[in-house]
Structure 1
Amino acid sequence: MDKRYQVFISSTFVDLVNERREVMQALLELDCMPAGMELFPAGNDDQWTLIKGVIEQSDYYLVILGGRYGSMTEEGISYTEMEYDYAVELGIPVMGFVIADPDAIPVGKTDKSEAAARKLDEFRAKVQKRMTKDWKDAADLGSKVTRGLIHLIKNNPRPGWVRGDQAMTPETRADIAELEAKIAKLEKKELEASTATFAHIDDSFAHGKETVELTAIHSGWRAYQDLLEEGTLSYSWDEIMEVLGPFMLDEASEPVLRSTLESHMLRDIFREGSEWSQDWERDELEISDKSWGSIIVQLRALRLITTGTKKRAVTDKAVYWKLTKAGDDYLVTLRAVPAGRKVEE
């Protein structure tokens, strides 16, 4: 697999423009991706946050020391030294390139401040405790970087970067297939365990012919006026199961189940003797959230239903319900027609 490595180049800038250009060219010829201060203006806290992020994403770190310590923070440390310390802290492989003859550097490319010169000496000593190479000029630096980085890569393997279309190797595909098989096996075991747990209903909870009062809001329209009334309807748990059960033989979303029950309740409003208004137009009925929640909780407590397990689109946020084995058996006893009995339309 063809990997490319991101290499962070750290140095002062104005006095080492040609040297940095030579280093970048050397990195590009090695198919590496150079990154450095060219992208970020110094002396800005927000930019320092960005610089740290780039260092964190880099595979290797190179620091080039010339004749200047560089601009400093309020704490009196240069940004170049801050970058170096951060790379070392992260455990990124580092290599230093130190000017061979500091006394030969033109005066215009050296620090005028004795304090800055002293800090540069201290920083140079710190860098030289690790792997370093001396350089004489830009061309020499470029060749030293090429040889040094090849050695650094060989002895310090890093993740690197690959093209997206090359990231999925045959080995990776095999690993993913193996993991998917394990997941499917675990899901199957979980489903089997769940099914076994719900083989029988828990009749310690209200069920069968016992009833529940469901609160609903009935809305409609008459004589150019919107109308609204609230009341209750009484149902046995068997009737609720008969209405909703067939839709959960596979899996059904909660909005579909709720709408099904509301349609059933709306038809019951018009039965003879109902206390609900019956001369409205455009009738609609909405069961209260509390009543609907009570139905779901009760059916779950009875072990008649459980949550759906089918995979769906990420955009599908609905909750799905399905019958357990106990729920399926119970529905059969409610809805199946015995031999010899006429089926009611």
Structure 2
Amino acid sequence: MDRRYQVFISSTFRDLVEERREIMQALLEMDCLPAGMELFPASNESQWTLIQGVIDASDYYLVVLGGRYGSETEEGISYTEKEYDYAVQAGIPVMGFVPANPDSIPAGKTDKNDAAAQKLAEFQAKVQNRMTKEWSSPEDLGSKVTRGMINLIKTNPRPGWVRGTEAMTPETRAEIAELRAQIAQQEKRDVEGSIITAAEIDKAFAHGDEEIAIEVNHRGYEGYKPYYEDGNISYSWNEVVEAIGPFMLDEAPEPLIRNALESDVLRSIQESPEIWTTTWSSQTAAISDSSWGSIIVQLRALRIIQTGTKKRTVSDKAVYWKLTPAGDDYLVGLRAVSHDPDFRKASD
């Protein structure tokens, strides 16, 4: 299987531009994926989380030292050394490259103060405790990177990246197909198990003309000033089912069903001026969450409704409800118009 490895390149930047170019060219010729500060400003503290993520996603880590220690963090450590320490801590295989002739580095590419030079020397000593190679020119560095990477890959195998079409073996594909079949069977069993087939409602629970007190928040306007009043309105279970049942002949989202009952409640409020304020404009009626929850629980207990079973998009978070066969029969009994045997006689 053809694998490509992501390699993080860490170094100071302005003094090693040519060297970094040679490293990237060497890695590309090996079908590796170079990653480094070209992707982000290494001196920006706010980018540290991004840098960590790129290092974590890399298979190997290369650090190149020149004549400068580099810009420092608030802790007094250079960003290059901070990256190196993180890679070591994360268990990423690392390889260091140090100058073979540090005294020959041009003055413009070296630190100008003794403190930075001392930190660079200590950092180089740290790097040389692990696998390192010396370099003398950009071209020499590119060559050393190629040979070093061949050895690093051989001695430290890593997952790498593969094409999606090559990522799965025939055995893996067969296993996935089997798992999908098992999931499909389980989903079918779940759907079948969730379907209520009882022909009658469970009359052990309150139903028919027995009533429920629904908590309502009634709102409206007089001019531009809003007003509201809270109260209870009594509904029989037959009235509840008559109001919302038709919306659940097919599966319907819960917000739509709740709005249907609230519209019916508002109509009842507007027909009761002796109890509620009916002179406001733009009136609304909102059923409390507690009352709505009680209604849903009761209708489920009566075996009038059940949750929907149709597949929907992942983004659709609504709960869907539909009538059970018993609920459908119950609604028909409430709302269907009976035949009047005397109608033909009266019209003749």
Judge same fold: TM > 0.5, yes or no: yes
* Residue pair 1:5, 1:160 contacting (<8 A) in 2 also: yes
Partner of 1:307: 307
Q: Which moved more, 1:173-182 or 1:72-81?
A: 173-182
- Tell me the distance in 2 between the aligned counterparts of 1:230 and 1:109: 78
* Residue pair 1:241, 1:331 contacting (<8 A) in 2 also: no
SS of 1:120's equivalent?
helix
Give the drift of 1:84.
0.5
Q: Which moved more, 1:283-292 or 1:234-243?
A: 283-292
Partner of 1:98: 98
Give the drift of 1:265.
7.4
- 1:31 and 2:31 are equivalent in the alignment: yes
Structure 1 residues 154 and 199: CA distance shift in structure 2, 3 A: farther
Which runs of structure 2 are paired with 1:1-345 in the superposition (5 Å)? Answer: 2-161=2-161, 166=165, 169=168, 174=174, 176-195=176-195, 203-212=203-212, 235-238=235-238, 240-241=240-241, 244-245=244-245, 247-248=247-248, 250-258=250-258, 288-289=287-288, 292-314=292-314, 316-323=316-323, 327-329=324-326, 331-332=328-329, 335=332, 342=339
Give the drift of 1:321.
0.6
Q: How many residues align?
A: 330
1:136 aligned partner, one-letter code: S
2:19 aligned partner, one-letter code: E
Give the drift of 1:307.
2.4
Give the drift of 1:170.
6.7
* Residue pair 1:27, 1:34 contacting (<8 A) in 2 also: yes
1:12 aligned partner, one-letter code: T
Give the drift of 1:23.
1.0
2:325 aligned partner, one-letter code: D
* Structure 1 runs not aligned, ≥5 long: 220-227
Give the drift of 1:38.
3.8
- Tell me the distance in 1 between the aligned counterparts of 2:230 and 2:123: 80
Structure 1 residues 292 and 85: CA distance shift in structure 2, 3 A: closer
Structure 1 residues 284 and 47: CA distance shift in structure 2, 3 A: closer
* Structure 2 runs not aligned, ≥5 long: 220-227, 344-348
SS of 1:312's equivalent?
coil
Q: Which moved more, 1:134-143 or 1:74-83?
A: 74-83
Give the drift of 1:10.
1.2
Q: CA RMSD in A?
A: 4.6
Q: Which moved more, 1:53-62 or 1:327-336?
A: 327-336
**Per-residue displacement from partner, 1:253-301 (whole Å, max 9, x unpaired)?**
2344346557877999999xx9999xx9xx9996745655543232123
Partner of 2:223: none
Give the drift of 1:232.
8.0
- What is the TM-score of this pair, normalised by structure 1? 0.72
* Residue pair 2:303, 2:327 contacting (<8 A) in 1 also: no
- Tell me the distance in 2 between the aligned counterparts of 1:265 and 1:38: 64
Structure 1 residues 131 and 197: CA distance shift in structure 2, 3 A: farther
SS of 2:56's equivalent?
helix
Partner of 1:223: none
* Residue pair 1:242, 1:331 contacting (<8 A) in 2 also: no
- Tell me the distance in 2 between the aligned counterparts of 1:55 and 1:41: 15
Give the drift of 1:89.
1.4
Structure 1 residues 188 and 328: CA distance shift in structure 2, 3 A: same
SS of 2:67's equivalent?
coil
SS of 1:54's equivalent?
helix
Structure 1 residues 2 and 207: CA distance shift in structure 2, 3 A: same
- Tell me the distance in 2 between the aligned counterparts of 1:63 and 1:307: 59
2:326 aligned partner, one-letter code: D
* Residue pair 2:195, 2:306 contacting (<8 A) in 1 also: no
Give the drift of 1:62.
0.5
* Residue pair 2:99, 2:134 contacting (<8 A) in 1 also: yes
1:24 aligned partner, one-letter code: M
1:97 aligned partner, one-letter code: F
* Residue pair 1:249, 1:328 contacting (<8 A) in 2 also: no
- Tell me the distance in 2 between the aligned counterparts of 1:87 and 1:17: 22
- Tell me the distance in 1 between the aligned counterparts of 2:123 and 2:217: 78
- Tell me the distance in 2 between the aligned counterparts of 1:215 and 1:106: 84
Give the drift of 1:113.
3.5
Give the drift of 1:75.
3.0
**Per-residue displacement from partner, 1:81-101 (whole Å, max 9, x unpaired)?**
111101111222211112223
Q: Which moved more, 1:1-10 or 1:126-135?
A: 1-10
- Tell me the distance in 2 between the aligned counterparts of 1:269 and 1:203: 29
Structure 1 residues 285 and 170: CA distance shift in structure 2, 3 A: farther
* Residue pair 1:71, 1:79 contacting (<8 A) in 2 also: yes
